[in-house]
């Protein structure tokens, strides 16, 4: 074949649009892509780096982590329907976290008899022909499309990234059959600068002034946010606004650092205990500011909701009551609020509000200190030890699930960009994400805190192979409580006096029998550390941090008290009689 192929145009468009990395798990649908990448390099043309992932979920998690740090979308290449299916819950996480990423998968060839280059030539080509491959990801992606000709490949790639980056950001899905990727013909050139995402939307001026005046006049004002800090500049703006008007800030399930944890106006990670006192509440970038089954704002509280999607249109059942729902870019809206607050008449009660919130902050911290018992291995004592050794250094990825709030409390983070969580609810994100974060910030110490169940979900054989292969070492600390505590806690909440809990028949027990650090050692030459007593903790963590600083991953598994002692069921053998 001669001439530019659709695959050539595709790869060139990715580079021109600013995609730096293709996180890939390639297959029989990618020969033209591979040829295009190789040919471009032979000609001395720049194109995205290719980072291979032995499992597709690791590839998407790494792209997710990379995008969190850089703010720029990357590409994930997977193999037809089966590779798309292997992305699993990672697509859910990218969607719920509003992370921009372009996912590309081939389609099985649409010719059988050699009619076109790329025709079917191996039996899996038949098996991978499904009615609706896009349906595997349709509930989660902002847009999906099948590239049908190379003549508009550049335009389709630019449109995909434009949609992915426009608020609310999220994943997009593109496919192409082998025949299309191998087809020749030069399409029209177009400048990626003409395909920018939608400009950030400001809040209406009247709404800005209404909110600023309400906050200034409040007795106990609150700002509730989970993801504002994805825009790192917004952290300083939020601090200034809170100090100017005397506002408490609470971060339920934060997916980024939104407010310094040691600031006197920081009121922790649970909104519900504060709702009965708050008379003005501004929710910014938060999907679940409170759970109505637990608590709700007082009847006379003024609630304002600011978000790029304030009605959560992709969540079928979701509602909360608010005086105003404002569709706006959170960073822009915050700057507007700050500008409005600066020109308000000075009020004499700001110092009193600050003092009251400071007292609440200090009472919280005193209660948190009681959680730490250095004589025992608990989630609190382990997190406190990690926090003490890490100090202000590094980036923490928190996927400890039932212990997430404990990690937030005891590994305090102050700097923008120093804390992330998945933003979704599909477990196993943090392993691949840590690789992506480290690739984007190679000089940073990256620390992932997980439970033992989450570690299994992270596909550690893939994760630590990537970390070793691409020089992206990080520290993993496993809080090994021997099972899926989230499942147990859901049973306890719904059936607090039930048979399942009282008889320890919960089917959540993983048994603390697997050598989880050993998996990472085998797959990626990681240092494997197992800690079973409190006197081993500090030394084990120090050694692990030293190893990571020297360029090698480390996994520290800390044996906590098990959540269940249930023995595994013994299935009856086939043909056995009772």
Burial of 205 from C-beta contacts in 10 A (0-12 / 13-18 / 19+)? exposed
Q: pLDDT band for position 578 (50/70/90)?
A: low
Which residues are CB-neighbours of 311 under 8 A, at least 6 positions away?
318, 325
Residue 367: its pLDDT value, please? 94
The pLDDT tens digits of the residues spanning 523-564 come to: 999 999 999 999 999 999 999 999 999 999 999 999 999 999
Summarize the confidence of residues 450-477 as an average pLDDT: 97
Summarize the confidence of residues 456-477 as an average pLDDT: 98
Q: If DSSP codes are grouped into helix, strand and coil, which group holds residue 200? A: coil
> pLDDT over 90 for what percent of the chain?
94
Residue 570: its pLDDT value, please? 83
Are 224 and 41 in contact by the 8 Å Cβ rule? The answer is: no
Q: In order of start, what are the domains of the chain with their CATH numbers?
A: 6-189 (3.40.50.970), 205-367 (3.40.50.1220), 372-559 (3.40.50.970)
pLDDT above 60 (res 444): yes
pLDDT above 90 (res 374): no
Tally DSSP H helices, then E strands, for the chain. 21, 17
DSSP symbols for 285-327? S-S-S--TTT----TT-EEEEEESSTT-TTSSS-----SEEEE
Residue 496: its pLDDT value, please? 87
Kind and range of the H or E run holding 478: strand 475-480
Are 266 and 260 in contact by the 8 Å Cβ rule? The answer is: yes
Distance of CA 369 to the CA centre of its chain: 28
Are 101 and 171 in contact by the 8 Å Cβ rule? The answer is: yes
Produce one character per residue of 151-166: b if its CB has 16 or more CB atoms within 10 Å, e if not. Answer: ebbbebbbbbbbbbbb
Residue 1: its pLDDT value, please? 44
The pLDDT tens digits of the residues spanning 285-306 come to: 999 999 999 999 999 999 999 9
The pLDDT tens digits of the residues spanning 394-438 come to: 999 999 999 999 999 999 999 999 999 999 999 999 999 999 999
Kind and range of the H or E run holding 83: helix 80-86
pLDDT above 60 (res 215): yes
The pLDDT tens digits of the residues spanning 173-193 come to: 999 999 999 999 888 899 999
Are 83 and 91 in contact by the 8 Å Cβ rule? The answer is: no
The pLDDT tens digits of the residues spanning 225-274 come to: 999 999 999 999 999 999 999 999 999 999 999 999 999 999 999 999 99
pTM for this entry: 0.95
Residue 375: its pLDDT value, please? 80
Q: pLDDT band for position 2 (50/70/90)?
A: low
The pLDDT tens digits of the residues spanning 309-351 come to: 999 999 999 999 999 999 999 999 999 999 999 999 877 789 9
Which residues are CB-neighbours of 551 under 8 A, at least 6 positions away?
471, 473
pLDDT above 70 (res 576): no
Number of C-alpha atoms within 13 angstroms, CB side, residue 463?
36
- Name 450's bridge partners: 399, 478
Distance, CA of 197 to CA of 188 (rounded, Å): 21
Are 49 and 22 in contact by the 8 Å Cβ rule? The answer is: yes
The pLDDT tens digits of the residues spanning 109-120 come to: 999 999 999 999
The pLDDT tens digits of the residues spanning 97-149 come to: 999 999 999 999 999 999 999 999 998 989 999 999 999 999 999 999 999 99
Helices assigned H by DSSP within 476-576:
485-494, 499-502, 516-524, 537-549
Residue 573: its pLDDT value, please? 73
């Amino acid at each position: 074949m001669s001439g530019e192929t659709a695959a050539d145009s595709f790869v060139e468009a990715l580079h021109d649009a600013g995609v730096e990395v293709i996180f890939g798990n390639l297959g029989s649908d990618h020969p033209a892509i591979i040829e295009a990448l190789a040919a471009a390099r032979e000609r001395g043309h720049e194109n995205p780096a290719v980072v291979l992932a032995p499992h597709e979920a690791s590839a998407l998690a790494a792209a997710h982590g990379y995008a969190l740090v850089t703010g720029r979308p990357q590409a994930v290449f997977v193999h037809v329907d089966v590779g798309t299916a292997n992305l699993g819950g990672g697509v859910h996480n990218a969607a719920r976290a509003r992370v921009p990423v372009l996912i590309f998968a081939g389609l099985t060839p649409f010719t059988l008899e050699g009619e076109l280059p790329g025709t079917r030539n191996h039996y899996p080509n038949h098996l991978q022909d499904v009615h609706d491959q896009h349906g595997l990801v349709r509930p989660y992606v902002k847009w999906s499309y099948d590239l049908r000709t190379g003549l508009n490949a550049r335009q389709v790639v630019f449109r995909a990234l434009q949609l992915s980056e426009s608020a609310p950001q999220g994943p997009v899905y593109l496919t192409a059959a082998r025949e299309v990727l191998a087809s020749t013909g030069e399409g029209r050139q177009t400048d990626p600068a003409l395909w920018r995402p939608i400009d950030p939307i400001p809040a209406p001026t009247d709404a800005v002034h209404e909110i600023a005046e309400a906050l200034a006049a409040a007795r106990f004002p609150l700002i509730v946010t989970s993801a504002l800090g994805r825009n790192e500049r917004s952290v300083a703006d939020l601090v200034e606004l809170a100090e100017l008007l005397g506002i408490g800030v609470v971060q339920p399930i934060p997916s980024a650092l939104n407010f310094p944890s040691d600031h006197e106006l920081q009121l922790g990670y649970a909104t519900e205990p504060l709702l009965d006192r708050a008379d003005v509440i501004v929710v910014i970038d938060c999907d679940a500011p409170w759970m109505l089954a637990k608590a709700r704002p007082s009847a006379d509280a003024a609630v304002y909701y600011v978000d790029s999607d304030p009605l959560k249109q992709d969540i079928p059942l979701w509602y909360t009551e608010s005086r105003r729902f404002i569709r706006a870019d959170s960073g822009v809206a915050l700057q507007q609020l700050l500008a409005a607050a600066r020109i308000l008449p000075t009020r004499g009660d700001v110092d009193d509000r600050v003092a009251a919130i400071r007292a609440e902050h200090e009472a919280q911290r005193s209660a948190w200190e009681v959680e730490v018992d250095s004589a025992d291995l608990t989630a609190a004592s382990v997190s406190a030890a990690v926090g003490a050794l890490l100090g202000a250094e590094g980036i923490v990825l928190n996927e400890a699930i039932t212990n997430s709030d404990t990690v937030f409390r005891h590994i305090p983070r102050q700097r923008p960009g120093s804390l992330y969580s998945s933003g979704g609810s599909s477990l196993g994100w943090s392993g691949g994400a840590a690789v992506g974060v480290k690739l984007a910030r190679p000089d940073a110490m990256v620390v992932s805190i997980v439970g033992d169940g989450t570690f299994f979900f992270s596909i550690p054989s893939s994760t630590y192979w990537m970390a070793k292969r691409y020089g992206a070492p990080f520290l993993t600390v496993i809080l090994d409580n021997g099972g899926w505590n989230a499942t147990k806690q859901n049973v306890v909440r719904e059936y607090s006096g039930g048979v399942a809990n009282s008889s320890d028949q919960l089917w959540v027990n993983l048994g603390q029998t697997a050598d989880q650090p050993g998996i990472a050692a085998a797959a990626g030459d990681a240092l494997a550390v197992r800690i079973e007593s409190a006197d081993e903790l500090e030394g084990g963590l120090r050694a692990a941090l030293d190893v990571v600083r020297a360029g090698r991953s480390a996994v520290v598994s800390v044996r906590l008290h098990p959540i269940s002692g249930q023995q595994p069921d013994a299935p009856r053998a086939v043909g056995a009689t009772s």
